[in-house]
Each structure stands twice: as structure tokens, then as C-alpha cells.
Chain A
Amino acid sequence: MSASKVIERDLVVIGGGPAGLAAAIAAKEAGCDVVLIERDRILGGILNQCIHDGFGLHRFGEALSGPEYAGRFIAQLKGLDVPVLQNTIVLNLSSDRKLLVSRMGELTEIHAKAIVLAMGCRERTRGALSIPGHRPSGVYTAGAAQNFVNMENIMPGKRVCILGSGDIGLIMARRMTLEGAKVEAVFELLPWSSGLPRNIRQCLVDYGIPLYLSTTVVNISGMGRLEGITVATVDDKRQPVAGTEKFFPCDTLLLSVGLIPENELAREAGVALSPITGGALVDADCMTSIPGVFSCGNALHVHDLVDRVSEEAERAGRAAAAFVAGKLSSGGTGVSILPGSGVRYVMPDHMTIPENPEETTLAFRVTTPKRDGVVRAAAGDTILKEEKHPRLHPAEMVWMRLSVEALRELKKSGKALEVSAS
């Protein structure tokens, strides 16, 4: 494909959700010429369908709904006169930062000095789980059902089962109940819920919806429309235990079984991706393996709180602006950062020592729930930081601030930084 038009830009932000909005605002405020590309007709991304409250507790000290949280950033962006290309999709990204963009049937090539990838994530589907059984209608991802109910005024069904206790599944259990559906139960493969405790309480306990842990769906019944599901208890290897099968009649099954960073463009461009998160491997400035290409938000790693997405995206936006201005070097890998025992991954995975800030941030997830836990960032016997946490949970990302001074010392030693939880 070739474009009829070629334009040049300093910074292109791909994605108009919370990450893209915050990155574009931060870059513009840093004096950078920036354009934002959004494939939908509106800005705000998935926040538009997240009408429940609880967004912005960290950032604004208020429990806002998704559209309200997005609305504050959209208003700020408009006030800064950042050009936004809506109804516009990026078809291809090359390793030399050339974008092939389609807008209302017109192809344009944009040559950018820097790019921020903020495409968000997508949901794992039935196909990713390989659930056996028939293929009736009535099986949806929780987010798709959320879109139907909250944006399109369509109820997916009346008698609902939910597989997966991720936050979207829990929130949809409440939402479907409020709209008059009967939610029979939520089933979770793991021995613990993967949703925030507040959502277990507010969305399930409040409405008397049972949660079955260590349980999964082993069969789907119904030829035209879903008629029911068979669930079974799983053992510690997550294999269904024979004889524990139980049938639940239902016309709707919602799947809330995990999110995957959206990185088709990044992959095509040759950005190195993490096999654990599915997002890019980045340094402390959110810069990927391609100089001038940055990643943030759920495209980088799936977050539990949008407030943290905004914070991380601002970091990416500022760094991208610095890159455009020639103030950010892109050489060297600096300090390697490794997940140690009890930690699934750490973001960033390496760190070139930032020039200006006095501290920097590590974000990571633990592998199993713990009470009275300790998280530690250490290099050999040298402990850079240790924090006590009354409660650690895989569903809740841990954010740890590290002093840049300590990292400089570490870099001299040539050792890797290891983050562990016990």
C-alpha cells in the first residue's frame, strides 16, 4: 500500500484512551508538537463504557466514573489545542517511525520523530481458553457485554454465569443484576480471586452472588442459544477433578479471563516484547527497543488502576518530548532489572539512569497472595529498598519508588537489580 499524502510530525501518540490522553498532554506541556490518533469517533477509550465509579481516587481524591475521569483529560487536551485525528486507524508502523494511517478511506503516511504507543489491551476470548462444547450464541467477553449494556442499550441475556473473577467480570455481575438479570455465579480457576477486594464486596457479596474458587467451565451446552454450562473443581495443577462436575442452566456466559496488551503495530515495527506481559520491554523512560518509540498504559502492561496509567503515560509523554528535543539519549542498557522470587514481572526491565528526576518508579506484580509481605529491590547483598505490605495480591500492582542516586551507585557495580517478594 502506498499513501497519497506524506506529512511530517514531531510526536505521534497512537490511542486516545487514558494513556494516550495523558501522554499527549504531558508532551504538549513540555513544548512538543504532538498529534493524537484515535480509531473511534470519540476520545476516552474503554473508559467510555466503564460507567461505574472508583476512578481517580489517587489522582483527584474523588470516585469518578470512567467517562468523567476521561472527560477531565479530554477537556485539558482541548485547552492545549492538540490536534486529534478521530475515526483514524494506524495500519502499519515501521522501525524507522513511519506510520501508514487510514482516515475515512484516505491513506496518509506520517513520518514522526517520536511515537508513543498507547493502544490499550484486548480481552482473552473463549478461543484462548479452548473451552470444549458447542458454539451457541450467548457467550461474550465481559467487556463486550459492558459495551452492549452501557453504550448500545442491549441486554445480552437474562440468566448469567461468569467465568473469571477479574474486575470487569465482577463489575458486570453487578451491572447485569441492576439491569434485572439473574447472575447465578462467578467461577474462578485460581484458588483466589483475580479482582480487587473492593469489587468482590461491592459487586458480589452485596447482591448475594456466589464465587466458586478453583473451579472452571468444562462444557458449554446449547445448539442455537446457550442453555447451560458444566463446571468442575480443579486440582492444584488446575486440572478438572472427575466427579465434581455440576450443571448450571443459563442463557449467557461472560468471560473475564484476562487482558492482553494490544501490540500488533509494535510487533510489526520490530519492538522487543516481553513474553510475560505481552507488552514492550522498556527502560525507565518507557522507551522501547526502538529509539524514539515509547509505550505506556495497558499496551505496556495491564494495570488495575487508571490513575497509575495516567502517571506512567505522563512519564512516557515527557520522555518522548525530550527525545524530540534531542535531550534524551538512547544509548546503553544501564542496569538490568529482574523479577526475583515471588515476583512475576517488573516494569521497566532495564534502566538507563534518568538525568533529571531524583527518583524513579518500578511497577511489578507478585505471583501469589501474601499477608504481612515484604518487597525488596536488591543487587546481591545490597538492599536498595525494602517495604512492608500488610497485603500483597497478584491482582494489585505494586509501585515502588527508587532513588536515582542509589541506581547510579548500582550501575557502577555492574550488578543487576532484582525485585522479590516474601
Chain B
Amino acid sequence: MSENRIKGEFTCVVCPNGCFIEAEYLEGGSEGPKLLSLAGNQCKRGETWVRQEIETPMRTISTSVPVHGGDFLLASVRTAEPIPLAKVQDVMAEIRKTSLNAPLSIGQVVLKNPAGTETEIIVTRNVAAAG
């Protein structure tokens, strides 16, 4: 497999500035994609983000889990830390197997290290026991 030099355009998602960043990177090398140069970022976080976006993109995901005996049918949950984009479907599959019992409070941990990721799945809604 030969190495390809690629010019890509990225919209930074780190903050609402949404910087438009142009980057050059190598793809197809033995060490995976590699950032060569970039321009257009307003801050250092933009560079870190584009490097990660090219080399190992990370995402937080949010979803809902069914609740038994609560004043809501569902409790919203999210990853406490970003996970590799490539692992999103695997993590979703693990969350889908879960259900919870009321009461629940914001921050409560539902799953640890789902699909081998370095994060926890935490509850983001207070759910009282159905009265």
C-alpha cells in the first residue's frame, strides 16, 4: 500500500468558534494516518483536535436507558469521557443491554469501561421513584 498525501478541510468542534482548518496529512502508511501541517486554527486546541481527528477521532455519545419504577420511562446517559469514534457502535450495543431501577441521580455510573473504552457511562437525568 502506498502513502497518499491528502489535503483535508476540518471544522473544529472543540468550541463554538468552529474554526475552519485546512490540514495536510499522510494516509496509507504503516503507522496509520499522520498529520503533516495545518492552518486556520485560532488556538492550540484546534491543532490538537485536528491531529486527533486525523489520527484517532474521539467522540462523546448520548443515549437513553429504560428505567423501571421511575417517574420517567427513560434515563438519559452519556460517556463521561470521549471514546474512539470507531468504538461508538460497540459501546451503543453494550448500553442497549442495560436497564436501570429508579431512583437515579445525575452523575450515577451505569457502566464502566464499555467495550474496552476508558470511560464510564453516567446518568444525566434525575429520575425519582414513581409515587
Chain A residues in contact with chain B, CB under 8 A? 48, 51-53, 57-58, 63-65, 67-68, 71, 149-153, 175, 178-179, 196-198, 200-202, 206, 304-305, 371, 390-391, 393, 396
Residues A178 and B61 in contact, CB atoms below 8 Å apart = yes
Residues A68 and B124 in contact, CB atoms below 8 Å apart = yes
Contact among A65, A151, A201, A304 for B62, CB-based, below 8 A: A65
Q: Which of B53-92 contact A (CB under 8 A)?
A: 57, 59-64, 66, 72-74, 76, 78, 85, 88, 92
Residues B19 and A151 in contact, CB atoms below 8 Å apart = no
Residues A67 and B18 in contact, CB atoms below 8 Å apart = no
Asked if B25 CB lies within 8 Å of chain A CBs, one says: no
- With a CB–CB cut-off of 8 A, which chain A residues contact B124? 51, 64-65, 67-68
A305: nearest chain-B partner, CB-CB:
B16
Shortest distance between the CB of A49 and any CB in chain B (Å): 9
Residues B85 and A67 in contact, CB atoms below 8 Å apart = no
Chain B residues in contact with chain A, CB under 8 A? 10-13, 15-20, 40, 42, 57, 59-64, 66, 72-74, 76, 78, 85, 88, 92, 106, 124-126
Shortest distance between the CB of B112 and any CB in chain A (Å): 19
Q: How far is the CA of A304 from the CA of B18 in the complex (A)?
A: 13
Residues A153 and B13 in contact, CB atoms below 8 Å apart = no
Contact among A51, A67, A197 for B63, CB-based, below 8 A: A51
Closest 4 pairs between A and B when the two form their complex, measured CB to CB: A197-B11, A198-B13, A51-B76, A197-B18
B11: nearest chain-A partner, CB-CB:
A197
Q: How far is the CA of A58 from the CA of B15 in the complex (A)?
A: 9
Shortest distance between the CB of A40 and any CB in chain B (Å): 12
Contact among B40, B59, B73 for A151, CB-based, below 8 A: B73
Residues B60 and A53 in contact, CB atoms below 8 Å apart = yes
Residues A65 and B13 in contact, CB atoms below 8 Å apart = no
Task: Knowing A51-B78, A52-B62, say if A67 contacts B16 (CB, 8 Å).
Answer: no
Task: Knowing A67-B76, A153-B64, A153-B66, say if A202 contacts B59 (CB, 8 Å).
Answer: yes
Residues B106 and A71 in contact, CB atoms below 8 Å apart = yes
Shortest distance between the CB of B56 and any CB in chain A (Å): 14
Residues A153 and B92 in contact, CB atoms below 8 Å apart = no
- With a CB–CB cut-off of 8 A, which chain A residues contact B11? 197-198, 200-201
- With a CB–CB cut-off of 8 A, which chain A residues contact B62? 51-53, 65
Residues B72 and A151 in contact, CB atoms below 8 Å apart = yes
Task: Knowing A51-B64, A68-B124, A200-B11, say if A153 contacts B16 (CB, 8 Å).
Answer: no
- With a CB–CB cut-off of 8 A, which chain B residues contact A201? 10-11, 13
Residues A198 and B18 in contact, CB atoms below 8 Å apart = yes
- With a CB–CB cut-off of 8 A, which chain A residues contact B17? 391
Shortest distance between the CB of A304 and any CB in chain B (Å): 8
- With a CB–CB cut-off of 8 A, which chain B residues contact A71? 106, 125-126
